[in-house]
Amino acid sequence: MVKASEKLDMTSGPLFKKIVVFAIPLMVTSILQLLYNAADMIVVGKFAGPQSFAAVGSTTSLINLIVNLFMGLSMGTGVIAAQSIGAKNKQRLFKTVHTSILLSVIVGFLVGAFGFIVCRYLLALMSCPLDVIDKATLYMRVYFCGMPGFMVYNFGAAILRSAGDTKRPLIILSVSGIANVLLNVVFVLFFHLDVAGVALATIISQYISAVWVITILVKDNADYRLFINKLHIYKEQLILIFKYGAPMGIQSSMFSISNVVIQSAVNSFGTIIMAGNTAANNIEGFVYASANAVSQSAMTFAGQNTGANRYDRVKKVLLICMGLTLFISVFLSGLVLLFKESLLTIYTSEANIIAAGVVRLNIICLFYGLCGVMDTVANTVRGMGKSLIPMIITLVTVCFMRVLCVYTVFEKFMTIEVVYWSYPVTWGLAFIAQLIYFTVVYKSKKSKNKG
């Protein structure tokens, strides 16, 4: 049980320390998640061969494409819950919690069934090589059986974080992640289940997380307490969840569509480049997750202060979070570039795959700071209750421009470097546009508050 006094008061007092205290567990949670995912890749890469390694890696963008549309709804839940807490509106929070958890169960089953059925067809559309597609399909079908647990945990964790609790989601992920790693070893090394074993370990850990977070919500004597017998879809809250969450989900899915196009371009270079891209992408994920923890913090802090009509603090939240995000991105990217070959060796011992991974890291890690500040500005605006325009900005400046690059510049030059350069260019465009929009929203909100 967590006492109210142990929650972070985001609407008063100094912000820097509170943001850091909030963000660190969130950052560690994200890094642990990536470590467990990396463990999946390492076990497959070391003990199941290049085809299995490429098979698991090639599914990432496709899984994200299917899942992220609905994951945005959990982010919408977090925004509404944070605003309700900031406004001290207990009834609205009650309805948000009970609508969200029931919605997560429904969404989990729907997404799982859809992904299970269509995965092979979509892999074929992505030009997945014939020596990889069977294993990739098997991995995805097992993986999607865990969707109900995955959704329930993420919606539940969003509720806890909206109240300032990032520690218990970290504990949950730590324990379930350790179970995932141990099961990886058992299923792959001892039972020789290959990619199916890795996916099976993942879904078992997801259901552990789901049961645990529901137990916390049920037992906590807090305003966000969950009563299983009172689960209900409240129309008003459902509309708000979709209003705030759907644009974020659509943006994430469109992001994934552009990444699917990127992955298709990468696939055209064959298994070695695919494997190198997969390893490098996993390493970059640690930089992204660390910076993204701060941008997620910006959304929660902006949400609570918007609920409390403290727009002066919202601007401070943005500036502090941008500074932290930029520092983290530059520092970690520098470490990656310094030790790139050694880091890639963790995933594979094959020199040609390592060389392929180095090509990606040399380009993308130089500019990861742009990605971090882009997300921070967009998430601050979302915390203020504006999701549609940030989505449109991202669709145009990132998703559309990347796809355009693949079908124009890449078609002309046909080099993997062209594919990788599409990332920093689009991050820069998106950051400028998001910052302009924040300025407009901030001035409008502050003016209305004065009036």
pLDDT for 242-253, tens place per residue? 988 888 788 777
Q: Residue 4 has what pLDDT?
A: 38
Is residue 448 pLDDT above 80, yes or no? no
Q: What token pair was written down for 448?
A: 């209305």
Comparing 366 with 185, the larger pLDDT belongs to 366
Does 451 fall in a domain?
Answer: no
Burial of 316 (0-12, 13-18, 19+ CB in 10 A): middle
| pLDDT tens, residue by residue, 385-425 | 888 899 899 889 988 898 898 889 888 888 999 989 999 99
User: Quick one: average pLDDT of 160-179?
Assistant: 88
Does 6 fall in a domain?
Answer: no
Does 437 fall in a domain?
Answer: yes
- Which of 62-71, 97-106, 175-184 shows the lowest per-residue confidence on average (mean pLDDT)? 62-71
User: Quick one: average pLDDT of 95-118?
Assistant: 94
**199 pLDDT tier (thresholds 50, 70, 90):** confident
Residue 231's region, left for phi above 0, alpha for psi from -120 to 50, else beta, is beta
Q: Give the C-alpha separation, 178 to 180, whole Å.
A: 5
Q: Residue 362 has what pLDDT?
A: 94
Q: Which residue has the tokens 């659509």?
A: 250
Q: Residue 449 has what pLDDT?
A: 65
Nearest CA-CA partner of 80 in 375, 309, 318, 385? 385
Q: Do residues 391 and 434 touch, judged by C-beta distance below 8 A? A: no
Is residue 285 pLDDT above 50, yes or no? yes
Q: How many domains does the chain have?
A: 1
Does 8 fall in a domain?
Answer: no
User: Quick one: average pLDDT of 349-358?
Assistant: 91
Q: Residue 49 has what pLDDT?
A: 66
Mean pLDDT of the chain: 87
Is residue 6 pLDDT above 50, yes or no? no
Comparing 451 with 290, the larger pLDDT belongs to 290
Q: Give the C-alpha separation, 62 to 65, whole Å.
A: 5
Does 379 fall in a domain?
Answer: yes
- Which of 69-78, 208-217, 274-283 shows the lowest per-residue confidence on average (mean pLDDT)? 69-78
Does 326 fall in a domain?
Answer: yes
Q: Which range among 120-129, 303-312, 361-370 has the greatest average pLDDT?
A: 361-370
Q: Do residues 151 and 111 touch, judged by C-beta distance below 8 A? A: yes
Nearest CA-CA partner of 82 in 186, 211, 224, 183? 224
User: Quick one: average pLDDT of 7-15?
Assistant: 80
Q: What is the value of pTM for the model shown?
A: 0.74
Q: Residue 2 has what pLDDT?
A: 42
Nearest CA-CA partner of 82 in 244, 221, 209? 244
Q: Residue 377 has what pLDDT?
A: 96
Non-local CB neighbours of 444 within 8 Å, separated by 6+ positions: none
Does 330 fall in a domain?
Answer: yes
**450 pLDDT tier (thresholds 50, 70, 90):** low
Q: Residue 7 has what pLDDT?
A: 62
Q: What token pair was written down for 208?
A: 């552990």
- What is the dihedral sign for C-alpha 348, 351, 356, 361? positive
| pLDDT tens, residue by residue, 427-442 | 999 999 999 999 999 9
**48 pLDDT tier (thresholds 50, 70, 90):** low
Q: Residue 359 has what pLDDT?
A: 93
Non-local CB neighbours of 450 within 8 Å, separated by 6+ positions: none
User: Quick one: average pLDDT of 9-21?
Assistant: 87
User: Quick one: average pLDDT of 374-393?
Assistant: 91
Non-local CB neighbours of 240 within 8 Å, separated by 6+ positions: 76, 80, 96
Non-local CB neighbours of 13 within 8 Å, separated by 6+ positions: none
Does 1 fall in a domain?
Answer: no
Q: Residue 47 has what pLDDT?
A: 65
**126 pLDDT tier (thresholds 50, 70, 90):** confident
Parent domain of 101: 13-446
Q: Residue 258 has what pLDDT?
A: 79
Proportion of the chain above pLDDT 70, given as a percent: 94
